[in-house]
A and B are shown apart, each in its own frame.
Chain A
């Protein structure tokens, strides 16, 4: 297996794909958003219980490739307990990681997605759930779609 491909399918990603965390509808959610990637049919719903400005709980559901499902799963573990502003900053870091391949300075599981940058067609897979989460937080009623973002 080439190093590019083993970088893409890191153990962290395979683990989240096999055993997704926080998967399923969150009954207590007060925010939710749907995301879809029309070019490949991937779908992702994100459910958030927002307490004031804090993400009290978060879950996702959907269908897609290992990259998109692992990204959604990992995202939920990263966002729980954060504020909406922290979530937006974390997404910026994540976006930097998947588009440039630069590992983050602070140690984070998000670095597992650095290998995505070598597969430009898969960047949308990695960012789909994040777009849905940010839409849920901003209360944007429109479904997040990868087509409206430059990545």
Chain B
């Protein structure tokens, strides 16, 4: 591994603390990752030196802030291998990015008789926006099924589902609940054959593996900064330029218009058309720093590191009595989701916290999938660049203590 990995934990100040008398073991990275010094100081530097509104002022600070903001856009474009910076729209995160596509592209292009294809493993943020636009337009929803506990997409009915009525196919790259890595390029190619637009939810992949929109062949890609070592409140939508140019605005205000009269206005081209109001430039600059940080580690190295930890955790946890693991056994994204037969996930998470271990417990914004699998909740351990195998030891030891405590009464 490159030398940047050697002292990686030193780069993340939040890791160095005790929780309930134990060194923190942070395994809730699928919810949000910790932030490296490079990102925190980029944010500080911007507000201490360059802060000013962008695209408006003719003074020095405004020009610097505009350069920093547009520089971050170009950096993010490079990070996902977009053809041009104009294909990157800054948003609050994955949820807002998907809502933008559903409202703007969906509102303009969907009608009664059309279908929206999703999968059964979508996070609520890639389901509910489509439900809303379906209600508004009369389009219907279809779902690619999930096979079962091994958490793969069942592609056998895809030809039957992916008919010419399907105008958009939206799916996740990596499942936040199952850890499944979906074959994005194949799904995009299949969608293209019927003329469907593709939307990829990259929330769980963007910080963990190479993400290349042109290699994927997707039309849209949505992601959040805070799940890739960036700060909260900023994310992006990648959109293929020709599509973005064809789309109407979805929010209106300053910064997105080219000419305004009392009765009507004209819009700026993308990306400004979709960034009404003062944008979140400070956090965007920090997102650019997060891209630099992850590329200095190498995203292929990150993929191997996080995937290996998740597979090790899967195998170690599988040996525990009464445990049910969901998601694929082999290659997976950097997370493991599990349930014990007689212990609720929230009790598991409370006991882990007692040992200084941060887990997530619940339905992971994946209620329909959980219902299909006959589960109400799971506990989830999710890994990032700073996690180590000894933390899996701590996790397994904690689970053994929990099992003993809740075990059958003597």
A, B: real partners: yes
Task: Decide: A2 and B20 in contact? CB cutoff 8 A.
Answer: yes
* Interface 9-residue window, one of B45-53, B83-91, B230-238, B347-355: B347-355
Q: Which residues of B contact A8 (CB under 8 A)?
A: 350
Chain B, range 310-368, C-beta contacts under 8 Å to A: 343-347, 350-351, 354, 361-363, 367
- What total of chain A residues lie within 8 Å of the partner, measured CB to CB? 22
**From residue A70, how far is it (CB to closest CB) to chain B in Å?**
10
The answer, among A1, A5, A18, A41, for a CB contact under 8 Å with B362, is A41
Tell me the minimal C-beta distance from B128 to chain A in angstroms: 13
**A-side contacts of B343, CB under 8 Å:** 66
| Interface assignment of A122: CB less than 8 Å from any CB of chain B | yes
Is A119 a contact partner of B350 (Cβ separation < 8 A)?
Answer: yes
Instruction: Report whether A66 and B406 are in contact in the complex, using a CB–CB cutoff of 8 Å.
Output: yes
With a cutoff of 8 Å between Cβ atoms, the chain B residues found around residue A5 in the complex are: 350-351, 354
CB-based contact A40/B346 at 8 Å: yes
A134 within 8 Å of B by Cβ? Answer: no
Whole-angstrom CA separation of A18 from B406 in the bound complex: 9
Per DSSP, chain A at the interface is mixed
Bound complex: CA A13 to CA B127 (Å): 38
* Contact assessment for B406 and A41 in the assembled complex, using a CB-CB cutoff below 8 Å: no
Least Cβ–Cβ distance between B375 and chain A, in angstroms: 9
Given contacts A40-B362, A41-B376, contact A122 B409 (CB under 8 A): no
Which residues of chain B have C-beta atoms less than 8 A from A29's C-beta? Answer: none
Are B354's CB and A14's CB within 8 A? no
Q: Is the CB of A43 within 8 A of B376?
A: yes
A64 close to chain B: CB less than 8 A: yes
Residues of B within 8 A of A41 (CB): 362-363, 367, 370, 376-377
B342 CB to closest chain A CB (Å) equals 8
Whether, in the assembled complex, B262 has its beta carbon less than 8 Å from a beta carbon of chain A, the answer is no
Residues of A78-127 whose CB lies within 8 A of B: 119, 122, 125
Contact of A65 among B347, B363, B405, B408 (CB under 8 A): B347
Closest residue of chain B to A62 (Cβ to Cβ) is B376
Docked pose: A14 CA to B406 CA in angstroms: 8
Tell me the complex Cα distance, A66–B347, Å.
7
Query: Which residues in window 48-106 of B have CB below 8 A to A?
Result: none
Q: Is A53 an interface residue (CB 8 A)?
A: no
Judge whether A2 and B354 touch: CB under 8 Å.
yes
Residues of chain B from 7 to 37 with CB closer than 8 A to chain A in the complex: 20-21
Q: How far is the CB of A132 from the nearest CB of chain B, in Å? A: 16
Q: Which residues of A contact B406 (CB under 8 A)?
A: 14, 66
12 sample A-B contacts, Cβ–Cβ < 8 Å, listed by A number = A1-B354, A5-B350, A5-B354, A9-B405, A15-B409, A40-B362, A41-B362, A41-B363, A42-B376, A64-B344, A65-B347, A66-B344
Chain B interface residues toward A at CB < 8 A: 20-21, 343-347, 350-351, 354, 361-363, 367, 370, 376-377, 405-406, 408-409
Given contacts A2-B21, A18-B409, 19 further A-B contacts (CB under 8 A): A1-B405, A8-B350, A9-B347, A9-B405, A39-B362, A40-B361, A40-B362, A41-B362, A41-B367, A42-B346, A42-B376, A63-B376, A64-B344, A65-B345, A65-B350, A67-B346, A67-B347, A122-B346, A125-B346
10 cross-chain pairs, A with B, having the tightest CB-CB distances, nearest first: A65-B346, A65-B344, A41-B363, A63-B376, A66-B347, A65-B347, A5-B354, A40-B362, A41-B377, A41-B376
